[in-house]
């Protein structure tokens, strides 16, 4: 579904050249849930932005279903750490907004928004304003708005990073349910190893300086996954292995990053 081929990305910052990504190869199958872990600054967001069509490789190519990605498209929805909702519009109007922009008649767009709000557990909050919702509810509304475009790929950049631990667990379980029912392909960035394991069919670990893929591990926990999955003893093995990889990468990249910041 998605293919990143020998991608290198360099940014210029004044006189300095930042090698954000170096020779990254990555393929994501249709319907797969891929999670990405890695130390700060290893290029996770840059990679996601390329898949979204907001950044372009310096070398190499990024493709969706065999076609080069040349810009953002309705086939790919993005969800960020902070739910970007219009505070002056109701939750229903926020979710309906991309449909209205695409020319859907208002009544139809609002009916579709209500269906989507029900799917993310916000059926009773269509008339509320974003400021009246909790962080988790705002993230659900943002997800509903992204789903309104009927993307085939969801690109998620630490979407639960700003939530408290309990809400985060609930959101993880809801997302797996939603994904399982939808057939969506998901690429999900996180700093949380447990989250990466619980959600992912595969966990990719990136290393920094330069950003590259250092580990690609299949997670063979059965689906559907639920809160009980979280006490599966295999999780401990996955966690210990991924911790080792991350520790090694953080130690390796820290001196180089300190040097780059000087
Ligand atoms: N527009 C830009 N201009 C210059 N440098 C950039 C730009 N975008 C990213 N970088 C640099 O590229 C590197 C990778 O950044 P990126 O945000 O992709 O990392 P990340 O792994 O997502 O980090 P974090 O986990 O902290 O969000 C960093 O050194 C960053 O400073």
For ligand 1, the distance from its centroid to the CA atom of residue 40, given in whole angstroms, is: 8
Beta-carbon contacts of 165 under 8 Å, excluding residues fewer than 6 positions away, are: none
Q: Which of 131, 125, 143, 127 is nearest to 87 (CA)?
A: 131
In this model, does residue 72 exceed pLDDT 60? yes
- Protein residues whose CB sits closer than 6 Å to any atom of ligand 1: 11, 13, 18, 20, 38, 40-46, 211
Neighbouring C-beta atoms of residue 225, cutoff 10 Å: 20
In this model, does residue 258 exceed pLDDT 60? no
Per the domain annotation, does 30 fall within a domain? yes
In this prediction the pTM is: 0.92
Neighbouring C-beta atoms of residue 143, cutoff 10 Å: 25
> Could you report the per-residue pLDDT of 172-188, keeping only the tens digit for each?
998 999 999 989 999 99
DSSP state of 172: H
Q: What's the rounded Cα separation, in Å, for the pair 75 and 53?
A: 11
| Mean pLDDT on 30-54 | 95
Per the domain annotation, does 81 fall within a domain? no
| Closest C-alpha residue for ligand 1 atom 18 | 43
| Closest C-alpha residue for ligand 1 atom 4 | 11
Per the domain annotation, does 126 fall within a domain? no
Specify the ligand 1 atom closest to the Cα of 211: 14
Selection from 136-140, 161-165, 169-173, 187-191 with the highest mean pLDDT: 187-191
- Read off the tokens for 67: 């076609």
Neighbouring C-beta atoms of residue 251, cutoff 10 Å: 10
When the pLDDT of each residue in the chain is averaged and rounded to a whole number, the result is 92
* Contact (CB, 8 A) for 210 and 252: no
| Closest C-alpha residue for ligand 1 atom 25 | 40
* Contact (CB, 8 A) for 209 and 177: no
Q: What's the rounded Cα separation, in Å, for the pair 130 and 118?
A: 16
Specify the ligand 1 atom closest to the Cα of 46: 18
Specify the ligand 1 atom closest to the Cα of 206: 21
- Read off the tokens for 173: 């379980």
Per the domain annotation, does 169 fall within a domain? no
pLDDT at 257: 53
Q: In terms of residue numbers, what domain contains 65?
A: 2-73+184-261
pLDDT at 262: 44
Per the domain annotation, does 239 fall within a domain? yes
* Contact (CB, 8 A) for 150 and 182: no
For ligand 1, the distance from its centroid to the CA atom of residue 21, given in whole angstroms, is: 9
* Count of domains observed in the chain: 1
Query: Any idea what the CATH number is for the domain that residue 9 is in?
Result: 3.40.50.300
| Closest C-alpha residue for ligand 1 atom 23 | 41
Per the domain annotation, does 16 fall within a domain? yes
Per the domain annotation, does 117 fall within a domain? no
For ligand 1, the distance from its centroid to the CA atom of residue 45, given in whole angstroms, is: 7
> Could you report the per-residue pLDDT of 117-153, keeping only the tens digit for each?
998 889 999 999 999 999 889 999 999 999 999 999 9
Per the domain annotation, does 177 fall within a domain? no
């Amino acid at each position: 579904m998605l293919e990143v081929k020998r991608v290198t990305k360099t940014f210029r910052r004044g006189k300095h050249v930042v090698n954000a990504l170096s020779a990254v190869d990555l393929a994501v199958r249709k319907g797969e849930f891929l999670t990405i872990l890695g130390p700060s600054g290893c290029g996770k967001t840059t990679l996601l932005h390329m898949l979204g069509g907001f950044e372009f490789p310096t070398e190499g190519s990024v493709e969706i279903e065999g076609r080069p990605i040349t810009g953002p498209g309705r086939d790919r929805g993005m969800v960020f750490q902070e739910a970007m909702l219009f505070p002056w519009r109701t939750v229903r109007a926020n979710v309906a907004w991309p449909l209205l922009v695409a020319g859907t008649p208002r009544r139809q767009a609002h009916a579709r928004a209500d269906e989507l709000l029900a799917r993310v557990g916000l059926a009773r909050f269509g008339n509320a304003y974003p400021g009246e919702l909790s962080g988790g509810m705002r993230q659900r509304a943002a997800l509903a708005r992204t789903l309104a475009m009927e993307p085939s790929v969801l690109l998620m950049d630490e979407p639960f990073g700003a939530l408290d631990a309990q809400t985060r667990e609930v959101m993880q379980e809801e997302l797996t349910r939603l994904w399982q029912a939808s057939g969506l392909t998901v690429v999900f960035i996180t700093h949380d190893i447990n989250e990466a394991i619980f959600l992912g069919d595969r966990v990719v670990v990136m290393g920094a300086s330069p950003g590259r893929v250092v580990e690609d591990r299949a997670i063979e926990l059965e689906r559907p996954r639920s809160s009980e999955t979280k006490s599966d003893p295999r999780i401990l093995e996955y966690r210990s292995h991924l911790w080792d990889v991350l520790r090694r990468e953080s130690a390796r990249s820290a001196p180089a990053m300190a040097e780059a910041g000087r």
